[in-house]
Structure 1
């Protein structure tokens, strides 16, 4: 059973029967889940004046817990409904900045505990691995700090697991989903070449270009000519070339993707694995899109093939 929970200071409203439409979106390179829904019910005009959190449950399993971005309650022709959009609490990491400068002995635990006090629902992978230092540029968000630290320690890009858990590594335990014709509505492949660059160049300490360059063989194979010139990125002084390697990898996110649309609500999470015989095997799930309306519920499971996945 799918339930929408609307949470106000005065209590919670559990709504299931009146859900007219909803969309839940979770993606490996987006640091929060997104939920939109329209729900009918017997609502009073002031019932949700103090609403501040939204939750989505599937058979009691939490799929989303987030802030209220927009909310509307309408009464017309003897009926009432609410329509809202919500982002997972981890979106708050994009809305808070780190103090600029050099921070020593930085770990994920320290990063998440020493700078901003977030709601208790935001958790993170327990990891005591420590970087010698983390240099923070002016205007750097907390999420960018997490991404910088994750790449420095693990060579990966972080993602949000469950509803609001920040992870640097793929989970060691996961669910396996095997898809076949009996459970599929459709399947397909997509390619996104819009973000890749053929060459990144970065200045050295005295502003001279030419020493640090990174070419993308994918762009060369596609005969794309896109270049980018960057000032010296002091976040990567431990290995300046990695500033360009990271940008090349991140620009190629979601370069190729295989998707599988399944009937019904699927209790999958980012980092779970999907297999489709002859196409992909044990690939990490990197994008989940669940939609529901008068025609029923369907779930799209997607697996990227890019510089960070499926490694």
Structure 2
């Protein structure tokens, strides 16, 4: 199992001759960027570090901006501790001018507002949709809204920095049935669930648009949410409630396994393990240290489609 961490400076100097002491990489279908923390040992000081890339077993799993980097000398060695988020994190940090954007495609959204380094996207030129941009809407918020309108899906990040709306057409199939697992488990998260959603109509009155979540109610959860008419969903106002219900339900059931090594799995690949048979991957965590490299991966079962 080979692990290579490359630090790149603002003047395009590459530092890859380092000893990776430990790292943690996280990727989740509901997080619009990958994250990396690492500690390495190297022979020289690095100036103007700006980017970092992580390759595990030949797969480039992370390429992103450095959020923080600490360099220190200790016991005759030089150590670096760093944290990074993938370049798609910039989608969350760039806002779009408020207003109605007619006849907009996913390609236009990703290409016509800002040029983000190393960020690519699914090709979708269909411009039959509109976006109603409220103040403080980020590019990612707009991508979420457009993805839901076009596909009924929540967008996700494929590979290092590819923004996707659709399940990947040719997923890798990973069968872990014969793997020696470190752990197998399930997790349920109920803290985000709501029982009832209420949206005002054009006059500001309530009572026309309501949604009751029987799954939450069956858990004795009583949480009512009220909000103004959502102009983003004027094409079908009831979808404003349905979307909020699905979003609050995201990741509600998590089925996972962990094993020694890494087989190259990515979000939306097909995985089988334990009682899971040919379902789409929803998350991947890779940890590495002197003990070796270990992967935790699995699937989500919630109200967004994962097919």
Identify whether the pair has TM-score above 0.5, normalized to the shorter chain.
Answer: yes
> For the Cα contact (< 8 Å) 1:90–1:164, is it kept in 2?
yes
Cα distance, 1:112 vs. partner?
A: 1.1
Cα distance, 1:181 vs. partner?
A: 5.2
Selected match of 1:225 from 222, 226, 246: 222
TM-score, length of structure 1 as denominator length: 0.95
Structure 1, unaligned stretches of length 5 or more?
none
Selected match of 2:13 from 4, 11, 14: 11
Cα distance, 1:20 vs. partner?
A: 1.0
Cα distance, 1:93 vs. partner?
A: 0.4
The equivalent of 1:170 in structure 2 is: 167
Secondary structure, aligned partner of 2:206: coil
The equivalent of 1:205 in structure 2 is: 202
1:153 is the counterpart of 2:155: no
Change in CA separation of 1:264 and 1:15 when aligned onto 2, cut-off 3 Å: farther
> For the Cα contact (< 8 Å) 2:33–2:88, is it kept in 1?
yes
> For the Cα contact (< 8 Å) 1:100–1:140, is it kept in 2?
yes
Selected match of 2:136 from 136, 139, 158: 139
The equivalent of 1:31 in structure 2 is: 32
Take 1:176 and 1:107, find their aligned partners in 2: how far apart are those partners? 31
The equivalent of 1:125 in structure 2 is: 122
The equivalent of 1:190 in structure 2 is: 187
Take 2:52 and 2:246, find their aligned partners in 1: how far apart are those partners? 34
Cα distance, 1:206 vs. partner?
A: 0.6
Take 1:226 and 1:209, find their aligned partners in 2: how far apart are those partners? 17
The equivalent of 1:71 in structure 2 is: 69
Q: Deviations over 1:157-178 (max 9, x none)?
A: 0001000000000101011111
Take 1:151 and 1:169, find their aligned partners in 2: how far apart are those partners? 10
Take 1:303 and 1:37, find their aligned partners in 2: how far apart are those partners? 26
Structure 2, unaligned stretches of length 5 or more?
none
Selected match of 2:292 from 296, 303, 307: 296
> For the Cα contact (< 8 Å) 1:43–1:81, is it kept in 2?
no
Take 1:166 and 1:113, find their aligned partners in 2: how far apart are those partners? 12
Secondary structure, aligned partner of 1:148: helix
Mapping 1:266-305, distance limit 5 Å: 266-277=263-274, 279-305=275-301
Q: Deviations over 1:124-180 (max 9, x none)?
A: 001112233211111100000000000001111000100000000010101111123
TM-score, length of structure 2 as denominator length: 0.96
Secondary structure, aligned partner of 2:277: strand
Larger CA deviation: 57-66 vs 234-243: 57-66
Take 2:127 and 2:259, find their aligned partners in 1: how far apart are those partners? 41
Q: Deviations over 1:238-263 (max 9, x none)?
A: 11110110000010011111101021
Cα distance, 1:309 vs. partner?
A: 4.0
Cα distance, 1:183 vs. partner?
A: 2.9
Cα distance, 1:54 vs. partner?
A: 0.4
Secondary structure, aligned partner of 2:16: strand
Secondary structure, aligned partner of 1:243: helix
Take 2:256 and 2:128, find their aligned partners in 1: how far apart are those partners? 36
Take 2:273 and 2:55, find their aligned partners in 1: how far apart are those partners? 27
Tell me the C-alpha RMSD between the 2 structures: 1.2
Take 1:10 and 1:102, find their aligned partners in 2: how far apart are those partners? 40
> For the Cα contact (< 8 Å) 2:54–2:61, is it kept in 1?
yes
> For the Cα contact (< 8 Å) 2:153–2:305, is it kept in 1?
no
Kindly report structure 1 stretches of 4+ aligned residues shifted beyond 3 Å: none
Change in CA separation of 1:143 and 1:182 when aligned onto 2, cut-off 3 Å: closer
Take 1:139 and 1:175, find their aligned partners in 2: how far apart are those partners? 37
Cα distance, 1:85 vs. partner?
A: 0.1
